[in-house]
Amino acid sequence: MKKLYITSPLYYVNASPHIGHAYTQIACDTINRFFKMAGFQTYFMTGTDEHGEKVEKAAVKAGYEKGREKDFVDSVVPHFKELWKDLNIKFDFFIRTTDPSHEKTVQKILEIMKSKDDIYKGHYNGWFCTPCETFWTELQVKGKPCPDCGRRLEKIEEANYFFRLSKYQDWLISHIKKNEDFIKPDYRKNEILSFLKNPLEDLCISRPKERMAWGVELPFAPNFVTYVWFDALINYISGMGFLDDEKKFKKFWPADFHIIGKDILRHHAIYWPIMLRSAGLAPPKTIFAHGWWTVKGEKMSKSKGNIVDPRTVIKLYGTDALRYFLLREVTFGLDGTFSEEAFILRFNGDLANDLGNLVNRTLTMVDKYFSGKIPEARAGIKNSSLEGLSRGLKDKATHLRKTLESRISSFDFSGALSAIWEVINKANKYIEESKPWECSRNKNTKNLESIIRNLLETLRIISISIYPFMPVSSQKIWQQLGIKDGIEGASLTETEKWNLLKAGHKTCKDKPLFPRIV
Ligand code: MSP
């Protein structure tokens, strides 16, 4: 059985998750569900990034004394877990960087690197951005604020430990060039390659405890804790059994997909592969950096008061509509602007009009013409125009799988959804063109049976195909088709088959899936 190991970033627990965090999770969950359905043994890991100065400051602000950061993070983590539940994010493991097994792994990796002389003590004289948890050199900032977030930097001059990034620079450049899927999209790969044209500075990987003690202690220098990024990146192997489950680790490492936002690409595409190389481990296969969601073109921030809370959207319009909108509206990789108007347009157009109506019209006809029972799979009249129309619909629906596979494998969620919508639109058009009401009027039962059957089969295929994106709606359509088993047990291969529904089975028409927003 083929395996797939997919990871999300670990979310900082200093603030509540917003739509941007939800985006990464939804993308990971969709890929995970898709490959599971395609027969892969998948493993999706997510979690929380709990150490470092940013979280420490948040703890103090929330009224926790220094030394009680763990109580603070313990109080925040459930909010993340609850939101992931509300968004239907189905992960295999939730890792916290305060898990003892993770901390042990961080120390083990540090020891390996130290024994290879890849870690040395030096003097740090530069800048630090707490909101980004990033070190910057004088040359990079030239008296300006943080190049990433534009906020004020803190000057740091102190003894610290360093990791020899520079030693591995040539190896990394050649690895990126040789492995065309290593950094995606290609324009992000080019950004990293151009960054690597300049010599890499060694990475400062510690903070003295007297200044900041909320972190994993350096095993060879108890007065220091590990720099939060160095600690957090190691989650991808610590949560995969690097120390305690060799069999699992061998099976799943290297990770297939690290899905991240564009702001944290340098950490993932430069520090992380070099850390792994130093530790004698293989680099991940693909790192995909997606774009950012803004609101009216502006970055979401508490001070601007423009944060879109996924919970509000879910309450108003439902989880599936949010999942659909985020993955359909913007090509994965590019930036997007969130607005309620755009959301409602997609909702009323794609979900209520196209998909919702197709389900509703089809099941209404099953009720009206066949007392709610699935009709026999009969061929219509040979060589008729109906036969041509029906073949067109069947071909389009049963060929969907290949398109989905290639688009989702290249992270083109929007393209995958538009391929599904082509089938939905074709089915709606098929109703108009085949005119089942005329067959009913003319008592042409054979053709009527054939039309309704074809529509139901198309709905069956659509319901499997939308499952990775919209698991709740997919299950609802499945149920309306009268299928008792859960949709998560369905396989993608069933979308290539026709006439799988059992004739005579009762369908269960329900209320509209997506009532129009007025
Ligand atoms: N803790 C680090 C990641 C460590 S991974 C070993 C971190 N955390 S974060 O909470 O700040 O961000 C988590 C993810 O959310 C990142 O991939 C980031 O790009 C994403 N997003 C945060 N805001 C976003 C938007 N406005 N839009 C889209 N994604 C954004 O970075």
Average pLDDT in the 480-492 region? 95
Higher pLDDT, 341 or 302: 341
Q: Which of 18, 24, 105, 326 to mutate to test the pocket of ligand 1 (most atoms within 8 A of CB)?
A: 24
Q: Would you state the structure tokens that stand for residue 21, as one six-digit string? A: 């965090």
- Find out whether the beta carbon of 149 lies less than 6 Å from any atom of ligand 1: no
Beta bridge partners of 153: none
Reply yes or no on whether the pLDDT at 276 is more than 90.
yes
Atom index in ligand 1 nearest the CA of residue 291 equals 28
Average pLDDT in the 11-32 region? 95
- Find out whether the beta carbon of 11 lies less than 6 Å from any atom of ligand 1: yes
Reply yes or no on whether the pLDDT at 67 is more than 70.
yes
Q: What is the pTM of this model?
A: 0.96
Q: Which of 13, 264, 271 to mutate to test the pocket of ligand 1 (most atoms within 8 A of CB)?
A: 264
Q: What is the C-alpha to C-alpha distance for residues 33 and 27, in angstroms, rounded to an integer?
A: 10
Question: pLDDT tens, 370-423?
Answer: 999 999 987 656 668 899 999 999 999 999 999 999 999 999 999 999 999 999
HEC letters along 209-238: CCCCCCCCEECCEEEEEECHHHHHHCHHHH
Residue 371 CB coordination number (10 Å): 9
Using the mean position of ligand 1's atoms as its centre, give its distance from the Cα of residue 480 in Å: 38
Question: pLDDT tens, 80-134?
Answer: 999 999 999 999 999 999 999 999 999 999 999 999 999 999 999 989 998 888 8
- Find out whether the beta carbon of 263 lies less than 6 Å from any atom of ligand 1: yes
Cross-sheet strand order for the sheet of 203-204: 134-136, 119-129, 154-163, 203-204
Number of H helices, E strands in the chain: 22, 15
Atom index in ligand 1 nearest the CA of residue 21 equals 15
Atom 12, ligand 1: which residue's CA is nearest? 11
**pLDDT for residue 509:** 96
Higher pLDDT, 428 or 140: 428
**Phi and psi dihedrals of 42, rounded to 5?**
-105, 160
- Find out whether the beta carbon of 20 lies less than 6 Å from any atom of ligand 1: yes
- Find out whether the beta carbon of 215 lies less than 6 Å from any atom of ligand 1: no
How is domain 339-496 classified at the CATH fold level? Answer: Isoleucyl-tRNA Synthetase; Domain 1 (1.10.730)
Q: 3-class DSSP state for residue 282?
A: coil
- Find out whether the beta carbon of 275 lies less than 6 Å from any atom of ligand 1: no
CA atoms within 13 A on the CB side of 450: 23
Atom index in ligand 1 nearest the CA of residue 261 equals 19
CB-CB contact of 171 with 277 (8 Å): yes
Using the mean position of ligand 1's atoms as its centre, give its distance from the Cα of residue 63 in Å: 25
Q: What is the C-alpha to C-alpha distance for residues 343 and 503, in angstroms, rounded to an integer?
A: 39
Atom 10, ligand 1: which residue's CA is nearest? 11
Atom 25, ligand 1: which residue's CA is nearest? 20
Atom 22, ligand 1: which residue's CA is nearest? 20
**pLDDT for residue 140:** 86
Average pLDDT in the 15-22 region? 92
Q: How far is CA 108 from the centre of its chain?
A: 30
CB-CB contact of 192 with 266 (8 Å): yes
Report residue 305's pLDDT band, with 50, 70 and 90 as the boundaries: confident
Q: 492: exposed, middle or buried (C-beta count within 10 Å: 0-12, 13-18, 19+)?
A: buried
Q: How long, in residues, is the chain?
A: 518
- Find out whether the beta carbon of 131 lies less than 6 Å from any atom of ligand 1: no
> What is the average pLDDT score of the chain?
95
Cβ burial 328-367 (10 Å sphere, 16+ → b, else e): bbbbbbeebebeeeebbebbbebbbebbbbbbbebbebbe
Using the mean position of ligand 1's atoms as its centre, give its distance from the Cα of residue 310 in Å: 15
Atom 16, ligand 1: which residue's CA is nearest? 261
**pLDDT for residue 379:** 67
Which residue carries 């200093």 as its tokens? 14
Beta bridge partners of 30: none
HEC letters along 414-441: HHHHHHHHHHHHHHHHHHHHHCHHHHHH
- Find out whether the beta carbon of 292 lies less than 6 Å from any atom of ligand 1: yes
Question: pLDDT tens, 221-257?
Answer: 999 999 999 999 999 999 999 999 999 999 999 999 9
